[in-house]
């Protein structure tokens, strides 16, 4: 049995979202049909507003309403440190810790030769330009994910930046707080030993 065209299009639209297959998309489509018209209209307006009213900061690449973003405009931030992340959502995660007070740079991806993503496909050129124009920056903290692509990106950035005399550091990786050693995989344990700190 075929669905009526409007619901078939809705299912197809939901399937464009990451991690949403046919069954989940169908469930979401029928849930949407059961929503109040006011809620559906609000949902649609929120989607349109997010696409229309948001842009990337011309300095750091973060998602923002105003350019430059509030973090880049804040003179109270530590101007000597830039934390490099893969996506804008990573900036929010770091900000929620309330521990980091420097600047950010969003790459919008990582190096991934398998997917055809090289240095020109992510936001590296603007980072290099930013470092050349701003001599007060003394440290770049690379906060890419601890997977093969994230590690490759971190190593590439280190090779690019170290000759310029900029300190390049990497976020520590290892055991999560509250985890048991016997449940950790080998790579996590290796990273935990490598990143050990003095008590």
Classify residue 124: in a domain, yes or no: yes
Q: Which structural domain, as residue segments, surrounds residue 151?
A: 78-170
- Residue 44 is assigned to a structural domain of this protein: no
For residue range 11-70, list pLDDT tens digits in order. Answer: 999 999 999 999 999 999 999 999 999 999 999 999 999 999 999 999 999 999 999 999
- Count the neighbouring beta carbons within 10 Å of the beta carbon of residue 91: 23
Q: Nearest to residue 138, comparing CAs of 103, 166, 161?
A: 166
Q: Is 122 a domain residue?
A: yes
Instruction: Tell me the per-residue pLDDT of 145-161, one tens digit each, with 9 for 90 and over.
Output: 988 899 999 999 999 99
> With 70 as the cut, is the pLDDT of residue 198 above it?
no
* pLDDT value at 197 more than 70: no
Q: Find residue 170's DSSP bridge partners.
A: 142
Rounded Cα distance, 164 and 158, in Å: 10
Asked if 103 and 82 touch (Cβ cutoff 8 Å), the reply is yes
Please check whether residue 128 lies inside any domain of the structure: yes
Q: Please check whether residue 108 lies inside any domain of the structure.
A: yes
Domain with 100 in it: what CATH number? 3.40.1360.10
Answer yes or no: is 140 within a domain: yes
What total number of domains does the chain contain?
1
Residue 182: band (very low, low, confident or very high) from pLDDT cuts 50, 70, 90: confident
């Amino acid at each position: 049995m075929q669905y009526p065209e409007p619901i078939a299009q809705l299912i197809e639209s939901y399937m464009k979202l990451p991690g949403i297959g046919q069954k989940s998309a169908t469930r979401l489509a029928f849930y949407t049909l059961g929503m109040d018209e006011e809620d559906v209209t609000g949902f649609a307006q929120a989607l349109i507003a997010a696409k229309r009213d948001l842009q990337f900061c011309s300095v750091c690449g973060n998602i923002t309403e105003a350019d430059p973003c509030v973090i880049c405009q804040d003179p109270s931030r530590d101007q000597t440190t830039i934390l490099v992340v893969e996506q804008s959502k990573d900036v929010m995660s770091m900000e929620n810790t309330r521990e980091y007070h420097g600047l950010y740079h969003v790459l919008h991806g990582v190096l991934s030769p398998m997917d055809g993503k090289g240095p020109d496909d992510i936001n590296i050129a603007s980072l290099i330009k930013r470092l050349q124009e701003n001599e007060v920056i003394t440290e770049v903290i690379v906060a890419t994910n601890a997977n093969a692509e994230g590690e490759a990106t971190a190593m590439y950035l280190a090779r690019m930046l170290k000759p310029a005399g900029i300190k390049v550091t990497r976020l520590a990786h290892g055991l999560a707080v509250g985890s048991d050693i016997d449940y950790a995989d080998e790579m996590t344990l290796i990273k935990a030993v490598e990143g050990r700190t003095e008590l």
